[in-house]
């Protein structure tokens, strides 16, 4: 220790302090004897203070037989994974090949490492036995082994871990706790020193001792493997009763000697120095070899008799074999650690599992909650008239593949829990309808609402008219998709239909992990942004809220107007979106008589911090308030608005209720027109029709098209007449023309 800090000196390269020995003779036992003798000598000469901590001895077996290369290292500098790396490097060096440098250096890893602090607990179970460090050394160690058959091994190491999304430790320790309880006639409650390799990807190829040891409580009780899996995530500040280490799968034992291979008589678990004190009264190591699970018990001879440990081994084997055929263990299921973004306990998860086949549980946003409550409004219908020979069975297969790539499109939204259930077997609602009245079929399709309670949230319908053309109808609930996703969904569907390659899908969980991170600064910004805003009745003027289906008001802004406006705006450093918002703010000010107004807009949540976000299909946007102050200096007002929006953070969970009564969206998504027009070989889209509603009294969507803008103004029929809606559209166009002069 230096100044109270534990240190490790990294010495330079020097003599390994190894040697050579000869072991001539035909007897295999003679070679083994010499190897054991040399092992003892190498160990005896190893000094932790002076080093070296790696010794190499070559045992020459004569001209007619392969010799042995004995590697001896202190556990301070190697773990089990290190031996594979050392052997690979040794072989390459012997053959004259250059040695690659890979993996982060151990010293850099150790310097940056932050030790995880154990969780303080008050647990003092009776020890299995009391160790004497002088008496109970490795030289007194006794071993007992058990072995399971191939079928039980497969269930314990493959089936049950996969069903529980856990390591084999969860199931194996469940059986061990039950076995110890039978052995000692106590409750199944153990404190176990749990050893793991402790490596991350950056040090996967680095030599060193990365082994992590934690203390876990194992108490399966009625919870079985699920409860043990959750308990293993905790590192407790308590004294363990025994040690457990599952070492993984080992290559089959060789039958004959081969160069640079572990010899047939080698112990896969290695060996320790004779005078080293044993750290635990009972140590259990498990590994799989030749398709069978082998378990070795090690203990100081003074603490237990072989009969006692054999009895424990018998109980353990019986519990393992029972677990391997237990239907509950083989079925498994989720636990709270599998769904860290959702606040739910095990009982809640199992309640959902009785209703759904679940792959994942994800949180819902405030916006999704509002959409689910008004499904009749938030179902978007896109109908595409296709010319060409559409292979309907192939399209159905493509639709199924689409949802397997993006299973959240088939999510269910239970009414009694604020989660979205991602199904294990996502399938679209796929329909084929023969009709001669396409218009009526589209109305019926839209009236047949998607069902959030059960999912899926996507429906694909093919309308066959008997002619050469067919109509593809994609119905999507807004809770699982946004405007950015819509063209990509169509593109992916036909890419799968045509067999075109696609990039790896981006899981929704990746975005939600970022979205639900601690963003206190973002929340503070939005609270300040809406502070002291008056009621948002700029157009409604106290009219009671009512919904009502209507045909939208369509309008166009001519290309010459857009061109002049864009040039005037550019001269002031303003974007087209900003001047559109300024024009709509003037409409709201005229109707409300206020010089400060607020309306909503949709902003993308596709932030660069989320890897692959551009390819994610899903609801990755939010509606935020746009607060506009009108002082009479149009250019300055719009510049202030644009600056504020350019620096605003991503939307947070913010209730926009009563802040505004209109929504303005400038849709400028990157779309390849040629790909949309000809989505697959032999197919051409010759017509498209979209039906979309919002809950707002007035919603305005503007899309760039052929140099001009196309506008769609939706309104609630229970609140406005068509003439009033047309007036809003006309006033917007007039305001846009006025801005040309004001900004020039």
Confidence of residue 274 (pLDDT cuts 50, 70, 90): low
Domain that holds residue 196: 122-333
* Whether pLDDT at 116 is above 70: no
Both 393 and 495 in one domain: the answer is yes
The mean predicted confidence, pLDDT, of the chain is 87
User: What pLDDT, on the 0 to 100 scale, is given for residue 25?
Assistant: 43
* Over residues 5-14, mean pLDDT: 47
pLDDT in tens, 445-480: 988 999 999 999 999 999 998 777 899 999 999 999
Q: Tell me, yes or no, whether 50 lies in a domain.
A: yes
Q: Indicate whether 326 and 430 sit together in one domain.
A: no
Which residues, 6+ apart, have CB-to-CB distance to 602 below 8 Å? 482, 483, 621, 622, 623, 624, 663, 665
What is the per-residue pLDDT across 29-39, written as a single tens digit (0 to 9) for each? Answer: 578 888 888 88
190 with 292, same domain? Answer: yes
Question: How far is Cα 664 from Cα 625, in angstroms, rounded to an integer?
Answer: 10
Asked if 213 and 315 sit in the same domain, the reply is: yes
Q: Return the CATH number at 322.
A: 3.30.559.30
**What φ, ψ does residue 699 adopt, rounded to 5°?**
-130, 135
| The last residue of a domain, from among 333, 348, 370 | 333
On whether both 558 and 428 belong to a single domain, the answer is: no
Q: Are strands 621-629 and 596-604 parallel, antiparallel or unpaired?
A: antiparallel
CB 601 within 8 A of CB 663: yes
Higher per-residue confidence, 53 vs 241 = 241
The whole-angstrom separation of Cα 561 and Cα 580 is: 12
Token pair of 17 as six digits: 């302090």
The 10s digit of each residue's pLDDT in 227-264 is 999 999 888 888 899 999 998 888 777 778 888 888 87
- The answer to whether residue 496 is domain-embedded is yes
- Residue 342 located in a structural domain: no
Residue 495 covered by a domain: yes
| 463 and 540, same domain (yes or no) | no
Q: Is residue 344 part of a domain?
A: no
Q: How confident is the model at residue 5 (pLDDT cuts 50, 70, 90)?
A: very low
Q: State percent of the chain over pLDDT 70.
A: 92
Residue 129, token pair as written in the block: 């036995």
Side-chain half-sphere CA neighbours of 289 within 13 A: 18
DSSP string, 178-235: HHHHHHHTS-S-EEEEEEE----GGGTT--S---EEEEEEE--GGGHHHHHHHHTT--
Identify whether 113 is part of a domain: no
Mean pLDDT (whole number) for 294-315 = 96
End position of a domain, from candidates 480, 505, 530: 505
Q: Are residues 557 and 485 in the same domain?
A: no
**With b meaning 16 or more CB within 10 Å and e meaning fewer, what string describes 132-171?**
eeeebbeeebeebebebeeebbbbbbebbbebbebbbbbb
Rounded to two decimals, the pTM is 0.80
Reported in sequence order, the residue ranges of 405-538 that DSSP labels E, i.e. its strands, are 419-423, 429-434, 458-464, 469-477
Question: Do 303 and 236 belong to one domain?
Answer: yes
Residue 669 lies in a domain: no
Do 273 and 310 fall within a single domain?
Answer: yes
pLDDT band at 523 (very low <50, low <70, confident <90, very high): confident
Res. 350 pLDDT band, cuts 50 70 90: very high
Indicate the number of domains in the chain: 4
Residues 475 and 571 in one domain: no
276 and 158 within one domain = yes
Domain assignment present for residue 713? The answer is yes
Max avg pLDDT among 497-511, 526-540, 689-703:
497-511
Ranked by mean pLDDT, the top range of 510-519, 646-655, 695-704, 722-731 is 722-731
Q: Please indicate, yes or no, whether residues 643 and 545 belong to a single structural domain of this protein.
A: yes
Question: Sorting pLDDT into bands at 50, 70 and 90, what band is 675?
Answer: low
141-200 pLDDT, tens digit each? 999 999 999 999 999 999 999 999 999 999 999 999 999 999 998 877 889 999 877 788
Domain boundary (271, 300, 333) is at 333
DSSP letter, residue 159 = I
Indicate which CATH number applies to the domain containing 417: 3.30.559.10
Q: Which of 212-221, 268-277, 369-378 has the lowest mean pLDDT?
A: 268-277
């Amino acid at each position: 220790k230096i100044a109270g800090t534990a240190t490790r000196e990294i010495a330079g390269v020097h003599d390994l302090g190894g040697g050579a020995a000869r072991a001539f003779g035909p007897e295999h036992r003679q070679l083994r004897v010499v190897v054991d003798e040399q092992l003892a000598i190498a160990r005896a000469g190893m000094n932790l203070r002076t080093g070296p901590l790696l010794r190499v001895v070559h045992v020459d077996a004569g001209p007619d037989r392969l010799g042995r290369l004995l590697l001896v290292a202190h556990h301070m500098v190697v773990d089990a994974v290190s031996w594979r790396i050392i052997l690979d490097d040794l072989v390459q060096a012997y053959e004259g090949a250059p040695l690659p440098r890979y993996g982060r250096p151990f010293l850099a890893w150790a310097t940056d490492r932050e030790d995880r602090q154990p969780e303080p607990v008050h647990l003092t179970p009776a020890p299995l036995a009391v160790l004497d460090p002088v008496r109970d050394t490795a030289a007194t160690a006794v071993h007992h082994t058990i072995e399971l058959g191939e079928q039980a091994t497969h269930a314990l190491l493959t089936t049950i871990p996969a069903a529980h999304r856990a390591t084999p430790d969860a199931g194996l320790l469940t059986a061990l706790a039950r076995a110890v309880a039978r052995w000692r006639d106590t409750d199944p409650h153990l404190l176990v020193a749990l050893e793991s390799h402790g490596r991350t990807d950056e040090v996967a190829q680095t030599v060193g001792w990365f082994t992590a040891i934690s203390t876990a409580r194992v108490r399966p009780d009625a919870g079985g493997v699920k409860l043990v899996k959750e308990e293993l995530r905790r590192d407790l500040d308590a004294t363990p009763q025994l040690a457990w280490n599952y070492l993984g799968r080992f290559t089959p034992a060789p039958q004959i000697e081969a160069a640079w291979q572990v010899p047939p008589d080698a112990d896969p678990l290695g060996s320790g120095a004779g005078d080293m004190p044993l750290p635990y009264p009972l140590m259990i190591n498990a590994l799989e070899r030749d398709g069978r699970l082998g378990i070795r018990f090690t203990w100081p001879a003074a603490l237990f008799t072989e009969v006692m440990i054999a009895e424990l081994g018998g109980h353990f084997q019986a519990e393992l074999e029972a677990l391997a055929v237990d239907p509950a263990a083989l079925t498994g299921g989720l636990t709270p650690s599998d769904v860290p973004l959702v606040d739910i306990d095990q009982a809640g998860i199992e309640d959902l599992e009785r209703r759904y086949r679940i792959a994942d549980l994800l949180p819902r946003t405030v916006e999704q909650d509002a959409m689910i409550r008004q499904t009749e409004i938030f179902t978007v219908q896109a109908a595409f008239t296709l010319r060409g020979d559409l292979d309907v069975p192939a399209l159905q297969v493509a639709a199924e593949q689409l949802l397997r790539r993006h299973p959240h499109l088939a999510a269910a939204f239970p009414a009694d829990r604020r989660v979205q259930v991602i199904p294990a077997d996502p399938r679209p609602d796929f329909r084929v309808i023969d009709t001669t009245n396409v218009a009526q079929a589209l109305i019926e399709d839209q009236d047949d609402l998607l069902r959030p309670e059960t999912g899926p949230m996507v429906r694909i319908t093919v309308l066959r008219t008997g002619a050469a053309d067919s109509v593809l109808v994609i119905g999507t609930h807004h809770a699982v998709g946004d405007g950015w996703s819509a063209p990509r969904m169509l593109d992916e569907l036909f890419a799968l239909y045509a067999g075109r390659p696609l990039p790896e899908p981006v899981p929704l969980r990746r975005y939600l992990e970022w979205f639900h991170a601690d963003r206190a600064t973002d929340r503070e910004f939005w609270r300040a942004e809406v502070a002291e805003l008056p009621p948002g009745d700029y157009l409604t003027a106290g009219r009671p809220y009512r919904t009502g289906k209507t045909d939208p008001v369509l309008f166009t802004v001519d290309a010459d107007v857009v061109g002049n406006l864009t040039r005037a705006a550019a001269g002031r450093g303003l974007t087209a979106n900003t001047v559109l918002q300024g024009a709509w703010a003037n409409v709201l000010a005229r109707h409300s008589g206020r010089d400060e107004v607020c309306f909503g807009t949709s902003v993308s949540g596709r932030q660069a911090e989320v890897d692959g976000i551009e390819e994610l299909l899903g609801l990755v946007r939010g509606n935020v308030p746009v607060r506009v102050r009108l002082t009479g200096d149009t250019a300055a007002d719009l510049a202030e608005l644009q600056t504020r929006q350019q620096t605003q953070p991503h939307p947070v969970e913010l209730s926009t209720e009563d802040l505004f009564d209109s929504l303005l969206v400038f849709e400028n998504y990157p779309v390849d027109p040629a790909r949309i027009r000809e989505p697959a070989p032999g197919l051409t889209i010759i017509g498209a029709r979209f039906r979309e509603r919002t809950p707002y009294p007035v919603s305005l969507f503007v899309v760039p098209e052929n140099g001009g803008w196309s506008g769609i103004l939706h309104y609630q029929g229970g609140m406005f007449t068509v003439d009033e809606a047309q007036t809003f559209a006309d006033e917007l166009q007039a305001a846009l023309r006025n801005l040309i002069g004001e900004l020039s």
